[in-house]
Chain A
Amino acid sequence: MSKNSFKVLRPGINTTFQDLGRDNLYHVGLPFSGAIDKRNFLIANSLVTNREDDAVLEFAYQGPLLEFSGSQTSIVITGNVSFKIIKKDTSEIKGECYKTYNLNNKDCLDIISTEKSVYGYLSVKGGFQINKFCNSYSTTVRAEVGPNDGKKIEIGQTIILNTIDSTIKKSLEYSNSKIEFIRVIKGTNFDYFSEESVKDFTSKEFTVSKLTDRMGMRLSGPKIKNLKKTNIKSEGLGKGVIQVPADGDPIVMLSDHGTIGGYPKIAVVISADYDKLAQCPPGEKIKFKIVSLTEAENLYKIYTMETKNIISKIK
């Protein structure tokens, strides 16, 4: 019996294996990486009854077109994603997110695109036959490490799936909500910036620019004026850190960010709002709001509770 597999007929723009990320390697220059939208990642694995830290395929904008070979498997897609299943007899099923589907030999899964968002997730019951690198299934393309030789999924390649005993049928009523503000905590160089710029930063809209990928998100809007110095001694960075280079346009560090940087840090996105920020596509307008550390800690508790609550509603 041959193994269950996907043949990649179209790779999509940025399709990679991801899990919860890789710890403890900042000091060699490897960021956490991992699924950008943690909540949708966790829901995807729960829907197909996988382990919480199993690998998924993360895609951005246009997703992959995959042809399934093998006996049978169950899949789910999470996020805000338009996709369809093309059966062997060429009939088509319009896909719904948060609902499992069974694929039979020679069925195709066409992940057309994410809608009003950036990232979507494909989880397969039993997971993929891939190896961990330093305790994680996350691919860090820039350092060429992780599954698939550290590369994005490429056209023509075969992705081997772990075999499963039985298929499943599960679904969840859920839709991704937007929030009015992206909440931030003041950064370590907050006082480098002019009073007017600080006011602009917390009251005016910023637009997500096209210069946005898994490494970072560049914003445009009112220029943030630095009164002190536009370079600091290079130091560590983290997910959600907002740096402002000399040109005054903020850059938010995302999961694959460079681990060291020398631009002043105006603010840091709170952990509870990271998923939502990272899901904003180019052109989307965002507003920042400053909260205290205590508020941020409480908001994260609420965020994790909500995630558990959502997962508990899977039927």
Chain B
Amino acid sequence: MIKNIYNLGDAALYCDFGDTVNKETNLKVINYFNDIRKKNITGIKNIAPSYNKLIIYFDLELTNYKNIKDTVENLDVSTFEAAKTKLVKIPVCFDDEFALDLERVEKRVGLEKKEIVNQLISQKYFCYMTGFIAGMPFLGDIEEKIRLDRLETPRIKVPKGSVGITEQFCNIYTFESPGGWNIIGNSPKKVFTKDSAKLTLIDPGDEVEFFEISKKEYSKFNEQK
């Protein structure tokens, strides 16, 4: 299932699941991730799943690349049951105040705002991974009609809660951060909770659905503040 394993530096294993980014490949990554976590393998300190890669960090004082590689290569995850996933509904306000890149998106994809929003909220998305900043979900795939490249010059500060699109993906900026995605709305929902028992609202493998809220509803929804 893992195509290739390399070392990333001297304290991490870089597992490559193949070149294509799709749900099938990503589910394999997530299954490996869940399985390795459950097995509590000595020396493993951290695991970073992404679209088609799994990076496993280990404690160089306790183990080494060869040992962890042998362990991971011999894992049998084919029988592992699929992780439990959930559907998360996220409110988004598409008011002009929040839709920082609306004009650019309209021009590039050749659709008007109403249609862009309808396309975005008309389907469920799959969460490929979370990260970059804490809790940020990488969701896909959005309709081909509304796909476009990231900004030529990234923003230095993307406001917290911003909902952005780029290529086949959409995401939510869980914190103010630099970033280059096309921002078309903002969610007042707290996606990273800081509750150590349950840090993230959306986990890899989950399904996400956006629903539109008005500016008035947004301001009443004071969770983010």
Establish whether residues A188 and B14, one from each chain, have CB atoms under 8 Å apart when the complex forms: yes
Q: State whether the Cβ of A91 lies closer than 8 Å to any Cβ in chain B.
A: no
Residues 29-88 of B contacting A (Cβ, < 8 Å)? 33, 37, 45-55, 57, 60-61, 64-65
Cβ of A233: which chain B residues have Cβ within 8 Å of it?
Answer: 19, 21, 50-53
- How far is A265 from B8 in the complex, measured between Cα atoms in Å? 9
Q: What are the interface flags for B110-134 relative to A under an 8 Å C-beta threshold, 1 for contact and 0 otherwise?
A: 0000000000000000000111111
Asked, given contacts A24-B46, A26-B48, A234-B50, whether A241 binds B8 with beta carbons under 8 Å apart, the answer is yes
Residues of A within 8 A of B45 (CB): 23-24, 32
Contact residues in B for A237 (Cβ distance below 8 Å): 48, 55
Closest B residue by C-beta to A242? B9
Report Cα–Cα, A202/B196, bound state, in Å: 43
The answer to whether the Cβ of B221 comes within 8 Å of any Cβ in the partner chain is no
**0/1 string, A272-315, CB within 8 A of B gives 1:** 00000000000000000000010011001000100000000000
Distance to closest chain A CB from B225 (angstroms)? 14
> Mask for B151-166, Cβ within 8 A of A = 1, else 0?
0000000000000000
Nearest chain-A residue to B180 (Cβ)?
A262
> In whole angstroms, what is the CA distance A162 to B48 when docked?
36
A266 to chain B, nearest CB (A): 12
Residue ID in chain B nearest A296 by CB atoms: B10
Is there an interface contact between A258 and B55, defined as CB atoms closer than 8 Å?
Answer: no
Say yes or no: B196 contacts A304, CB within 8 Å.
no
> A27 near B51 (CB under 8 angstroms)?
no
Q: Which residue of B lies closest to A265 (CB)?
A: B8
A142 at the interface (CB under 8 A from B): yes
On chain A, the residues within 8 Å of B90 by CB distance are none
| Chain B contacts with A in 131-151, Cβ cutoff 8 A | 131-136, 138
**CB neighbours of A304 from chain B (8 A):** 61
Cβ of A195 to closest chain B Cβ, rounded Å: 21
Q: Which residues of A contact B48 (CB under 8 A)?
A: 26-27, 235-238, 259-260
Shortest Cβ distance from A240 into B: residue = B9
Contacts of B6-25 to chain A: CB distance below 8 A: 6-12, 14, 19, 21
A268 at the interface (CB under 8 A from B): yes
Residues of B within 8 A of A293 (CB): 7, 10, 65
Residue of A nearest to B202 (CB): A28
Nearest residue (CB) in B for A231 is: B150
CB distance from A30 to the nearest CB of B (A): 5
Interface 0/1 of A218-235, CB less than 8 Å to B: 000000000000000111
The distance in angstroms between the C-alpha atoms of A27 and B49, with both chains bound, is 6
A23 adjacent to B46 (CB under 8 Å) = yes
Partner of B132, one of A32, A144, A150, A260: A260
Given contacts A144-B175, A241-B9, A293-B10, whether A29 and B46 have CB atoms under 8 Å apart is no
* Assembly CA distance A287 to B161 (angstroms): 41
B1 within 8 A of A: no
Given the complex of chains A and B, what is the CA–CA distance between A133 and B193 in angstroms?
A: 13
Residue pair A268, B61 in contact (C-beta under 8 Å) = no
B50 to A236, Cβ gap below 8 A?
yes
Contacts of B60 in A (CB 8 A): 271, 297, 300
Judge whether B53 and A236 touch: CB under 8 Å.
Answer: yes
Report yes or no: A25 in contact with B9, Cβ–Cβ below 8 A: no
Q: Is B192 an interface residue (CB 8 A)?
A: yes
CB of A300 within 8 A of CB of B10, answer yes
Instruction: Write the chain A residue with the least CB distance to B194.
Output: A145
The answer to whether B199 has its CB under 8 Å from any CB of chain A is: yes
Cross-chain contact A28 with B130 (CB below 8 angstroms): yes
Q: B204: CB under 8 A from chain A?
A: yes
B199 cross-chain contacts in A, Cβ below 8 A: 25, 28, 30, 134
> Which of chain A's residues have a CB closer than 8 A to the CB of B194?
133, 144-145, 150
Is A269's beta carbon under 8 Å from chain B?
A: yes
Interface residues of A in 151-209 (CB under 8 A from B): 185, 187-188
A93 within 8 A of B: no
Q: Are A259 and B131 in contact (CB under 8 A)?
A: yes
Q: Which of B10, B49, B52 contacts A271 (CB 8 A)?
A: B10
Assess the A238–B55 pair: CB atoms within 8 A. yes
**Hey, which chain B residues are within 8 Å of A248, CB to CB?**
none
Tell me which residues across on chain A come within 8 A of B129, comparing CB atoms: 27, 234, 260
Residues B133 and A188 in contact, CB atoms below 8 Å apart: no
A-B residue pairs in contact (CB < 8 Å), sample of 26: A23-B46, A24-B37, A26-B48, A27-B48, A27-B130, A30-B134, A142-B175, A142-B177, A143-B133, A143-B134, A185-B9, A234-B138, A235-B55, A236-B131, A237-B55, A238-B8, A238-B11, A258-B132, A260-B129, A270-B9, A270-B10, A297-B64, A297-B65, A300-B10, A300-B61, A304-B61
